[in-house]
Structure 1
Amino acid sequence: MTRAQTDIDAETVEAAIDWLVRLQGEAVTERDWLDFDAWLTASPAHAQAYDAALAFDGRLDLDARFDQVEPVAAPLTASRGEVVPLRPTRRVWIWSAGAAIAAAFVAGAVLLPASGLLGAHETTYVTGVGERRTVALEDGSRIEMNAASRMTVRFERHARRVHLGDAQAFFDVAKDSSRPFVVSAGDTQVRVVGTQFDVRHRDGLVAVNVRRGLVEVRPNLARDAAPFRLRPGQGLSHRKGQKADARVEAVAVEEVAGWRQGRLIYRDQPLSQIAGDMNRLFPRPVRLGDAEAANMRLSGVLIVDDQDAMVDRLSHLLPVRTTTTDDAIVIRAR
């Protein structure tokens, strides 16, 4: 555990508690989250006060569960994933405790959990070559994984976290203002509450495209830098390890995650990326026979069906010729 700093005043703590209560309300809006993000990033003291409020709120969750357990001898049989309803006075407790938390901050006596994890658990999901999978999460969110993808989902008390390895996935996130949904891909972090968006993390490149809602993206930014905020019809791309290379561009909403409908949509993408995508769809590898072919770029749509048919279409879209063997398909410049 780490001791909180002592330069956080009571007004800041009260503001943190106010935000915690507001964001847990049913009427929270996109504007509320934008205003909250601006407040949170305005000062390190704000973030620390909010963390303390979350920790205190978590403690109330535990207290409420203990208060509801009947003192009987029979063993408890509730499953690990069961959610015990909280008393309706929970938010009143938060408000009444505000002065106590503020006083503790001023006195330098607030201790924050080092990990913030209470009952956290994680699951890893993998798809093979040519395999797609839809994962239904316990919070009502759904994740559609593209072929040859790997991701780990971790549910914590105050956050829902997904780590994408080499992967592409479309997220339909259930709204839960008390637990933001955070996706990590390389050195990029994506944060939402409830929305639909696609994240591609392949070959060191991260691309985020938004279909619905508001998505906050932080691609290798300095700690005090403002994140990008993407709206429907916007996308951002970033190469891992690079600074100040992130670009926000317009994307057609109907094209976001076109792979879900069997369409690979490219906008000035290198043939090396297209070959890589095909290698995730079919067991017979596609290889590029020369540098000229690898550097060619494509803007267009490839329908995903038979591998030979896809390669044939590619040869009509680019000046390439293909050689097919039992072991591989080799593409060379004409």
Structure 2
Amino acid sequence: MNPGDVSAEILRDEHLTQAAAEWLIRRGAGLNSAEAAEFAAWHADPRHAIAFARVEKTQHLLFRLPQAPTAAALMAEADSLMRRARPAKPSRLHGWPTYVTLAAAACVTVALWLAWPTLRPERDIFATLAGQRQSVTLNDGSTLVLNGDSEVQVAFAAAERRVQLHRGEAHFFVAKDPARPFFVSADKVTIRAVGTAFNVRREANAIDVLVTEGKVQVTHGVTGANGAAALPIYLVSGESVHIDTLSSAIAVASDAAPAGEKLLHSAPRLVFSDTPLGEVVALFNRYNQLQIEIAEPELALRAVRGNFDADNAESFIALMERSGDAQIERVSPTKVRLHKAP
């Protein structure tokens, strides 16, 4: 068994962790010579030394913990118990009440140790390249699936869970935790969910949200005619919303994608209905290492209809060539340029 396996086994041993916490608190209250010798004998065991070092490190980390309500309450309780456990005089107080208090303080320390992954803020950035997908399990048990050419930033705290979608598309499977609401923000749009699954796609000037399970609340920066903030939109499973961040147009649909829109990516299939070629190319570039360029601006406005596998750009390029809609230039093994047909 390697050192990492031993350390993981010790971390899972709650009895050993509690014993280490009790010694930490007793040492903080002061040890007499006999107790110091007892502690030294206990600490001589390598497994005990590792457990004690972990608990001691946790104590140091907790003193640097941001002021989360849960952590603050536990720390206050631990401090109170420590004060009660410490003798008023230099001489040791031996007796049942003292050791009951020490045990209670140890339990609080163990609780803080076990709760540390939840209490500490999680701040991470995850990103994918074109043609890649990545599944990430977050520390609360939620899962996010990033599609190609996408990036998110995770910022979890004790009171809430937040994810910022900087670009691209992600599907979220949210673990239930009513005490810590889950928010996803993309541009001026924010989605709130508790125990649900939904998809968010961020384009240059639009945000698409599709709910695949449960219910979400969508708030946005679009204001009414009188300048008042618009009411939030509530979506249930099978419903979607398309928000144009330039024109402020909002379209809500049920069960299927609205005309002119693409289905959000819960499966690798794209559906186009009179969709501008520029938008079509942007989607294919997200899912494929083979990148497509459009040579002329007017070609980017040409409408496209059809169903395609998201990760098969070659089939789309071949269709464009066969139909005479565009001429194909193979710039490199990973780049194709579309030109207007003569």
Match of 1:3 in 2: none
Structure 2 partner of 1:172: 173
Q: What secondary structure sits across from 2:331 in the alignment?
A: coil
| Distance (whole Å) between structure 2 residues aligned to residue 145 and residue 214 of structure 1 | 21
Deviation at 1:61, TM superposition (A): 5.3
Aligned CA-pair RMSD: 3.4
Q: Taking structure 1 as reference, are residues 82 and 290 closer, same or farther at Cα in structure 2, changes over 3 Å only?
A: same
Paired with 1:122 and 1:268, the residues of 2 have a C-alpha distance of 40
CA contact (8 A) 1:219 1:246 kept: no
Q: Secondary structure at the match of 1:261?
A: coil
Given that 2:320 and 2:326 are in contact with CA atoms closer than 8 Å, whether structure 1 keeps it comes out as no
Query: Per the alignment, in what secondary structure is the counterpart of residue 236 of structure 1?
Result: strand
Give the number of equivalent residue pairs. Answer: 242
Contact 2:326 2:338 (C-alpha < 8 Å) held by counterparts: yes
After superposition, the C-alpha distances for 1:28-55 in whole angstroms (9 at most, x for unaligned) are xxxxxxxxxxxxxxxxxxxxxxxxxxxx
SS in 2 for 1:194: coil
Match of 1:331 among 312, 317, 338: 338
CA gap 1:272/1:213 in 2 versus in 1, 3 angstroms: same
Show the counterpart of 1:131. 132
Counterparts of 1:256 and 1:276, CA distance in 2: 12
> Which string of whole-angstrom CA distances, capped at 9 and with x for unpartnered residues, describes residues 238-269 of structure 1?
122443x111122439x997645322233442
Q: How does 1:24-103 map to 2 (within 5 A)?
A: 59=69, 62-67=72-77, 71=82, 82-83=114-115
TM-fit CA distance, 1:119: 4.4
Q: Distance in 2 between matches of 1:250 and 1:213?
A: 14
Q: Which residue of 1 aligns with 2:294?
A: 288
The alpha-carbon distance between structure 1 residues 305 and 63, as it changes in their structure 2 partners (threshold 3 A), is closer
Match status 1:232 vs 2:233: no
- Following the alignment from structure 1 to structure 2, what is the Cα–Cα distance between the partners of residues 249 and 258? 12
Report how far residue 283 of structure 1 moved: 3.8
Mapped to 2, the partners of 1:80 and 1:183 lie a distance apart of 28
Partner secondary structure for residue 115 of structure 2: coil
Q: Which moved more, 1:145-154 or 1:273-282?
A: 273-282
Distance verdict in 2 for CA 1:130–1:239, change over 3 Å: same
Q: Trace 1:257-276 onto structure 2 (pairs within 5 A).
A: 259-276=265-282
Looking at structure 1, the residues matched to 142 and 132 of structure 2 have their Cα atoms a distance apart, in angstroms, of: 20
Unaligned runs of 5+ in 1: 1-56, 86-117
Question: For 1:123 and 1:67, how far apart are their aligned partners in 2?
Answer: 31
Instruction: Name 2:87's counterpart in structure 1.
Output: none
DSSP 3-state at the match of 1:308: helix
1:247 to 251, 259, 284: 251
Aligned to 1:39: none
Bigger radius of gyration among the two = 2
323-332 vs 158-167, which deviates more?
323-332
Task: Measure the CA separation in 1 of the matches of 2:338 and 2:77.
Answer: 68
Structure 2 segments unaligned to the other structure (5+ residues): 1-66, 83-101
CA contact (8 A) 1:304 1:310 kept: no
Contact kept in structure 2, 1:143 and 1:172, CA below 8 Å: yes
CA offset digits 1:273-298 (Å, max 9, x no partner): 11112222334431223344311223
Name the amino acid aligned to 1:193: V
Deviations 1:135-157 (A, max 9, x none): 10111111000011111011122
* CA 333–59 in structure 1, closer or farther in 2 if over 3 Å, else same: same
Report the Cα distance in structure 2 between the residues aligned to 1:256 and 1:211, rounded to whole angstroms: 16
C-alpha separation between the residues in 1 aligned to 2:189 and 2:69? 31
Letter in 2 for 1:330: R
The residue type equivalent to 2:253 in the other structure is E
Aligned to 2:217: 216
| Shift of residue 324, structure 1, vs aligned partner | 3.0
Q: Equivalent residues in 2 for 1:150-165 (5 A)?
A: 150-165=151-166
Tell me the CA shift for residue 80 of structure 1: 9.1
TM-score normalised to structure 1 length? 0.62
SS in 2 for 1:272: helix
| Contact 1:272/1:294 (<8 A) preserved | yes
Q: Relative to structure 1, is the Cα distance of residues 324 and 78 closer, same or farther in structure 2, using a 3 angstrom cutoff?
A: farther
Rate the CA distance shift 1:79–1:282 in 2: closer, same or farther, 3 A: farther
